[in-house]
Amino acid sequence: MAVQFMYGVLVPVTTPKPKLPPEADNGVWSLYVGDLDPQVTEADLIDKFRLIGPIASVRLCCDSFAGDSLCYAYVNFFTSLDSSTALCFLNHKELKGKPIRIMWSQRYPLTRKTGIANLFVKNLHPSITSAQLQSMFSKFGKILSCKVAAENGKTKGFGFVQYDSEQSSMTARNALHGTLVEGKKIYVSKFAKKSARTVAHGDAMMASLEGSNQTEAAQKYWESEFCMEF
C-alpha cells in the first residue's frame, strides 16, 4: 500500500469510496446539505446534484414566518448508490462560492446531538479547510460530520470531527494529537459538552482545556451548528 505525507502526517494513499447509507426512508435516500449561502435556491441544488443521478426531491428549509432560507436543505435520491456518490464527491464543494457540508440525514440524531465520538481539533492553520480536515481524519474510520469553524469567510482556528464509533475517534486522536500541520502543532481532544466536562472523566487533555476562550467559543459554535433538528 502506498503512503504519502499530507499536512505533515504519514497517511495511506487511497481512492475515495462512497460511504454506505443508512436504511432508506420511504424508498428514498436522504442527504442533509448544510452551510448553504443564503441566496441558494432549490433550483441551484437541483442543478448541483442532478449531475450525480435522478433526484427524488429537494427541500430547502426556510423560516416559517419570514420565508428566509435557514441555509440547509434535504436532497433525496432514488438509489443508495447515487446518494453515496453525492456525499463522497460533492461534500465540501462550493455552491455560490461557499463550501457546502453534506451528511446522511438522521431520523434519530441522538449520536450527533450528544457529541458521542466527537473530536475537538484546535490550533489549526488559517489555510486548513473542512475538506482538508476531513481528508486528514478519514483514514481512521467513518466520519459522520466534519467542519472547520468559520465566520464571514475567516476560520476560527478550530473544528470538529465526529465518527460513527468511539473507537475510531480515539484512534484518530492518538495518531494525530500533537502532529505538525502546516507548521502548527494541532491539539486533538475528545469533545464533551460543558456540563459533562470534568476531571473525573479521566481525560487529562479535556481538563487542560477548561477556561480556554477557544474552547468556550467551540462549545457555543457546536451547540448552534450541530444540535439543531435537521
Q: What is the pLDDT of residue 125?
A: 95
Pairing of strands 98-99, 101-104: unpaired
What CA–CA distance (Å, rounded) separates 179 from 186? 6
Q: What is the pLDDT of residue 150?
A: 87
The DSSP output letter for 137 is H
Superfamily (CATH H level) for 29-104: RRM (RNA recognition motif) domain (3.30.70.330)
Q: What is the pLDDT of residue 169?
A: 94
Q: What is the pLDDT of residue 22?
A: 55
Q: What is the pLDDT of residue 23?
A: 54
Residues of the chain with CATH 3.30.70.330: 29-104, 110-226
Q: Return contacts of 55-59, CB within 8 angstroms, 24+ apart.
A: 56/28, 57/28
Q: What is the pLDDT of residue 3?
A: 46
Helix %, strand %, coil % of the chain (to 5) = 30, 30, 35
Q: What is the pLDDT of residue 187?
A: 95
What CA–CA distance (Å, rounded) separates 230 from 61? 9
Q: What is the pLDDT of residue 109?
A: 55
Q: What is the pLDDT of residue 105?
A: 86
Q: What is the pLDDT of residue 144?
A: 87
Superfamily (CATH H level) for 110-226: RRM (RNA recognition motif) domain (3.30.70.330)
Name which of 90, 88, 58 is nearest 73 in CA terms.
Answer: 58
Cβ neighbours of residue 230 closer than 8 Å, sequence gap 6 or more: 32, 34, 72, 105, 106, 109
pLDDT along the chain (230 residues), means of 10: 48 48 66 95 97 96 92 95 94 94 75 74 94 94 90 88 92 96 94 54 44 52 45
